[in-house]
């Protein structure tokens, strides 16, 4: 079972590498704005989780760099996810706004919709 899971994990990572979307062509101003925005976000994830891959690919497509924490191997990250978000489930996006308030968002579709919404004013401003 462990071997099958290991092989599946490798397949997921190979598929991710082969289907990596190109970053969009952005102005220096847009790139800077996306970098500033991304400072609010940390993605808690497992490397070979297909739902996490979906979020990573979406962020690449947007040109939004995302800091990631491995909640499988990094025990401090795992503990932070459990304490902050309430459960060990990935992907989970930690959002810290300018006032220092923190939200933990689960569900890959919700995370992607949120990132699309947050980046739209930057990306659509050409
Ligand atoms: N519907 C969720 C599924 C996420 C999910 O099942 N993640 C798995 C890893 S691939 C997980 O965290 N499992 C642990 C658990 O559910 O407790 C999403 O789209 O984000």
In this structure, is residue 51 part of a structural domain? yes
CA of 49 to the centre of ligand 1 (A): 8
In this structure, is residue 119 part of a structural domain? yes
In this structure, is residue 106 part of a structural domain? yes
pLDDT tens-digit series, residues 40-86: 999 999 999 999 999 999 999 999 999 999 999 999 999 999 999 99
Q: Is the dihedral of CA 70, 71, 72, 75 positive or negative?
A: positive
In this structure, is residue 13 part of a structural domain? no
80: domain range? Answer: 28-123
Mean pLDDT of 8-13: 95
In this structure, is residue 110 part of a structural domain? yes
pLDDT of residue 126: 53
CATH assignment of the domain containing 39: 3.40.30.10
Residue 16 pLDDT exceeds 70: yes
pLDDT tens-digit series, residues 79-121: 999 999 999 999 999 999 989 999 999 999 999 999 999 999 9
Cα–Cα distance for residue pair 104/82, rounded to 1 Å: 10
Q: How confident is the model at residue 23 (pLDDT cuts 50, 70, 90)?
A: confident
Nearest residue to 37 (alpha-carbon basis) of 118, 93, 112: 118
In this structure, is residue 9 part of a structural domain? no
pLDDT of residue 60: 97
CA of 92 to the centre of ligand 1 (A): 9
In this structure, is residue 16 part of a structural domain? no
Q: Give the pair of three-digit tokens for residue 104.
A: 């933990």
CA of 78 to the centre of ligand 1 (A): 14
In this structure, is residue 56 part of a structural domain? yes
The structural domain count of the chain equals 1
Cα–Cα distance for residue pair 5/116, rounded to 1 Å: 31
Work out which ligand 1 atom sits closest to the CA atom of 106. Answer: 20
């Amino acid at each position: 079972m462990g071997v099958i899971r290991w092989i599946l994990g490798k397949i997921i990572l190979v598929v991710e590498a082969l289907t990596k979307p190109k970053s969009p062509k952005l102005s220096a101003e847009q790139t800077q704005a996306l970098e500033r925005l991304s400072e609010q976000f940390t993605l808690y994830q497992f490397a070979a989780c297909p739902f996490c891959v979906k979020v990573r690919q979406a962020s690449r497509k947007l040109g939004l760099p995302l800091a990631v924490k491995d909640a499988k191997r990094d025990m401090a990250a795992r503990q932070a996810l459990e304490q902050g978000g309430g459960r060990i489930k990935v992907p989970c996006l930690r959002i810290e706004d300018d006032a220092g308030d923190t939200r933990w968002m689960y569900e890959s579709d919700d995370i992607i919709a949120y990132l699309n919404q947050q980046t739209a004013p930057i990306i659509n401003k050409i």
